[in-house]
Amino acid sequence: MKELRVAMLGFGGIAKSHKRAYEQFETEGTPIRLVAVCDIDPEQFTKVEQINLGAARPYRMDGIAQYTDLDKMLAEQSFDMVDICLPTYLHKEYTLRMLAAGKHVMCEKPMSLCEADCREMLEAAKKAGKLLMIGMCLRFEPQYLFLKEIIDSGRFGALRYLNLSRLSPLPKWSFENWFQKTEKSGGCALDLHIHDVDMVRFLLGDPRAVSAVAQDDVTRWQYISSRFFYDQFCVEAVASWMEAPGCRFAAGYRACFEKATVILENNVITVYPADDKPYNPELGKENRMAEEIRLLARCIDEGSEINTVNTPESAAATVALVKKLCESADLGGKILDL
């Protein structure tokens, strides 16, 4: 693979996880090189931020140019791809700007705040002839790839039901507190629930109908419980930003098959076969952030047709499905056909 030079835009909470992926590439000798970072807040270049995903760790900044002005970074640095870790309300504006500047774009999830923005982003990438990928990172997470493999292979028979959950205290670390402003984040539905909504689509395709109930508090849709209607099985997903401040972030699933129940909780998967002892399957140790960036880098090198797992069109369809769930919640849980 030809060396790919990357710049990051936004260096807050999630950017520090992306940074670790670039450190992994350096250690592996993978030719994906972070050359510069840009954030309007220079304190972010040294801050070790604690976000809901887990313990923050120190990171290395040696050899990486640091900017607080994007135009200056564009003028002084040569790079092929930008990794956008900005707040959600800035995703569209900066994706369009970076595509117009001739850069390939990796942009954090959710793609943007509404379907019209997503369409503009897709069109801009086509017009620029550059690649766009959205960080739907669960599609690269070994714990969820295991679930996909057992559904696709039918190893435990047919799926009977699937429950997914993602529960967190209200995010408090963000720039100007943007997470807590629904018009900037889309609330828990678009920010957190989107991971499981996207996973449902990744695992099972689009449902024929959906419904949701929700509760508002500091943000709209701060708790949301969704149902996805398929003919052969039931799927439910719950997300919350209502948990007490001291609660640990918790995400997991329970999948019931004809011949086994499979549970992900506390970061451990346990398979309970119908006629044997429970066991913990061996999983890959891949870092999901590194794998999504690696896939975009390979697409830039080999052509976008190798991407069958995380297209920007699919990321846009996931935003549309979250919007449908919010619409249902606003109608008191009405079942809406797709």
Ligand X SMILES: NC(=O)c1ccc[n+]([C@@H]2O[C@H](COP(=O)([O-])OP(=O)(O)OC[C@H]3O[C@@H](n4cnc5c(N)ncnc54)[C@H](O)[C@@H]3O)[C@@H](O)[C@H]2O)c1
Those residues with Cβ within 8 angstroms of residue 195's Cβ, 6 or more apart along the chain or in another chain: 109, 136, 137, 138, 166, 251
Identify which range of 85-93, 199-207, 221-229, 230-238 contacts ligand X by CB under 6 A.
85-93
Using CB under 6 A, which of 4, 8, 10, 97 touches ligand X?
10
CA distances, 35 to each of 1, 5, 22, 82, 124 (Å): 17, 6, 10, 10, 25
Cβ–Cβ < 8 Å for 87, 184: yes
Using CB under 6 A, which of 4, 8, 74, 87 touches ligand X?
87
Residue 14 binding ligand X, by CB under 6 A: yes
Residue 13 binding ligand X, by CB under 6 A: yes
The CB-of-212 to ligand X minimum distance in angstroms stands at: 20
Identify which range of 9-17, 23-31, 157-165, 313-321 contacts ligand X by CB under 6 A.
9-17
Using CB under 6 A, which of 137, 145, 271, 299 touches ligand X?
137
* Coil/strand/helix, residue 285: coil
For residues 180 to 219, the per-residue mask of contacts with ligand X, x marking binding by CB under 6 A and - elsewhere, is -----------x----------------------------
Q: What is the rounded CA–CA span in Å between residue 71 and residue 227?
A: 45
Q: Closest residue (Cβ) to ligand X?
A: 12
Residues β-bridged to residue 265: 268
Of 21 and 122, which has the nearer Cβ to ligand X? 21
Annotate 225-258 with DSSP letters as a single string: EEEEE-SS-EEEEEEEEEE-TTPPPEEEEEEEES
Q: What is the rounded CA–CA span in Å between residue 286 and residue 251?
A: 18
Cβ–Cβ < 8 Å for 271, 260: yes
The DSSP code for 279 is B
The CB-of-12 to ligand X minimum distance in angstroms stands at: 2
Of 187 and 207, which has the nearer Cβ to ligand X? 187
Using CB under 6 A, which of 22, 96, 135, 262 touches ligand X?
135
Using CB under 6 A, which of 34, 38, 319, 322 touches ligand X?
38
* Coil/strand/helix, residue 308: coil
Of 31 and 142, which has the nearer Cβ to ligand X? 142
The CB-of-219 to ligand X minimum distance in angstroms stands at: 13
Of 150 and 322, which has the nearer Cβ to ligand X? 322
Residue 322 binding ligand X, by CB under 6 A: no
Residues 271 to 300 in contact with ligand X, rule: CB under 6 A: none
Residue 15 binding ligand X, by CB under 6 A: yes
The CB-of-89 to ligand X minimum distance in angstroms stands at: 9
Token pair 């099972």 in the structure block, residue: 204
Residue 11 binding ligand X, by CB under 6 A: yes
For ligand X (CB under 6 A), the number of binding residues is 26
Q: What is the rounded CA–CA span in Å between residue 13 and residue 86?
A: 10
Using omega within 30 degrees of 0 as the cis cutoff, is the peptide bond preceding 312 cis? no
Q: What is the rounded CA–CA span in Å between residue 219 and residue 170?
A: 9
Identify which range of 84-92, 202-210, 242-250, 319-327 contacts ligand X by CB under 6 A.
84-92
Nearest to 262 by CA among 211, 310, 203, 202: 203
Q: What is the rounded CA–CA span in Å between residue 204 and residue 126?
A: 28
Of 18 and 104, which has the nearer Cβ to ligand X? 18
Which residues form the interface with ligand X (CB under 6 A)?
Answer: 9-15, 38-41, 44, 51, 85-88, 90, 108-109, 135, 137, 173-175, 191
